[in-house]
């Protein structure tokens, strides 16, 4: 399980499994309403349920430094959702690494858990790509969580800025593999075209995990490369 500190929020740590558990709760909460009442819950029902269960169940055995506290209510703030983007293969995107520092990449294929992206070896203070800089990689291709990054736009600052038409996955990507399963005998490799086949531990060495990466991890991969180049 991966854990990370939340940017701009002091003393807050979050992890992949914790987020998965929270998503599972929300899905199951909604499913109960749909199965029994033939509708989805509304926001007030979710807020009331959270308030009630937190009042009854949250104490110092659950939370740190909570010995003399109790939860009175849960507030949920809403705002207008940004316009969703539907990414397609061949889209070229920019993403903010930090203030006045943008990276760039292209969506090259679709797999079961997201879309495979190549990240170009080019950094700019503006989200404008020099199209002569798309022939080498800053980091090896990886699977992006395009739903969170582009459609929902709930992570980082990712924007589609151009499109390659037509775009064809050629032999340049033949050796790109993503790995899942348990070593040494139950490893699987997923190729850029989504095909799966067994792979040995030795052959899997150096391949990226078959997982949908979000803003935090991509930025971390990029910054590690940039930092090592400065050493």
| Residue 83 placed within a domain | no
72 with 96, same domain: the answer is no
Helix 43-57, helix 16-37: angle, nearest 10: 120
Asked whether residue 142 falls in the same domain as residue 205, the answer is: yes
Q: What is the pLDDT of residue 120?
A: 96
Same domain, 204 and 126: yes
Residue carrying the six token digits 């399963």:
181
Q: What is the DSSP letter of 226?
A: H
Alpha-carbon distances of 88 from 7, 27, 75, 146, 192, rounded to whole Å: 29, 27, 37, 10, 15
- The DSSP bridge partners found for residue 13 are 5
On whether residue 9 sits in a domain, the answer given is no
Q: Are 190 and 180 in contact (CB under 8 A)?
A: yes
Q: Residue 2 has what pLDDT? A: 61
- If we measure between CA atoms, which residue out of 137, 129, 125 comes closest to residue 104? 129
Predicted confidence at residue 220, as pLDDT, reads 94
- Domain ranges, residue 72: 14-78
Helix (H, G, I), strand (E, B) or coil at 111: strand
**Same-domain check for residues 110 and 204:** yes
Whether residue 6 lies inside any domain: the answer is no
Residues 73, 105: one domain? no
Residue 186: strand, helix, or coil: strand
Say if residue 113 is in the same domain as residue 210: yes
Q: Is residue 5 part of a domain?
A: no
Span between the terminal Cα atoms of the chain, in Å = 29
Question: 219 and 183 share a domain?
Answer: yes
Q: Count Cα neighbours of 222 within 13 Å in the Cβ-side half-sphere.
A: 25
d(CA 119, CA 156): 16
For residue 103, give the nearest of 123, 75, 83 by alpha carbon. 123
- Mean pLDDT by runs of 10 across the 231 residues of the chain is 65 79 91 96 96 94 92 90 80 92 95 95 90 90 94 91 86 91 88 93 91 94 88 57
Residue in 220, 31, 84, 62 with CA at minimum distance from that of residue 139: 220
How many domains does the structure of the chain reveal?
Answer: 2
- Of 26, 55, 78, which closes a domain? 78
> Is 226 within a domain?
yes
The answer on 208 and 120 residing in a single domain is: yes
158 domain-assigned: yes
User: What pLDDT score does 84 carry?
Assistant: 67
């Amino acid at each position: 399980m991966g854990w990370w500190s939340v940017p701009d929020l002091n003393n807050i740590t979050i992890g992949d499994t914790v987020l998965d558990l929270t998503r599972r709760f929300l899905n199951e909460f909604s499913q109960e309403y749909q199965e029994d009442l033939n509708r989805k819950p509304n926001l007030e029902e979710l807020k009331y349920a959270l308030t009630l269960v937190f009042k009854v169940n949250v104490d110092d055995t659950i939370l740190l430094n909570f010995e003399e506290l109790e939860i009175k209510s849960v507030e949920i703030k809403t705002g207008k959702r940004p316009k969703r983007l539907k990414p397609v293969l061949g889209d070229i995107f920019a993403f903010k690494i930090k203030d006045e520092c943008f990276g760039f990449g292209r969506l090259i294929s679709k797999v079961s858990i997201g879309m495979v992206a190549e990240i170009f070896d080019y950094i700019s203070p503006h989200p404008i790509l020099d199209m002569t800089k798309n022939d080498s990689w800053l980091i090896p291709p990886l699977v992006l969580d395009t739903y969170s990054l582009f459609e929902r736009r709930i992570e980082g600052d990712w924007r589609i800025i151009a499109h390659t038409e037509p775009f064809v996955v050629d032999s340049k990507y033949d050796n790109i593999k993503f790995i899942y399963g348990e070593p040494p005998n139950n490893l699987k490799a997923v190729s850029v075209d989504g095909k799966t086949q067994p792979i040995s531990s030795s052959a899997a060495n150096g391949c990226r995990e078959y997982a949908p990466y979000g803003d935090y991890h991509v930025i971390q991969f990029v910054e590690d490369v940039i930092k090592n180049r400065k050493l």
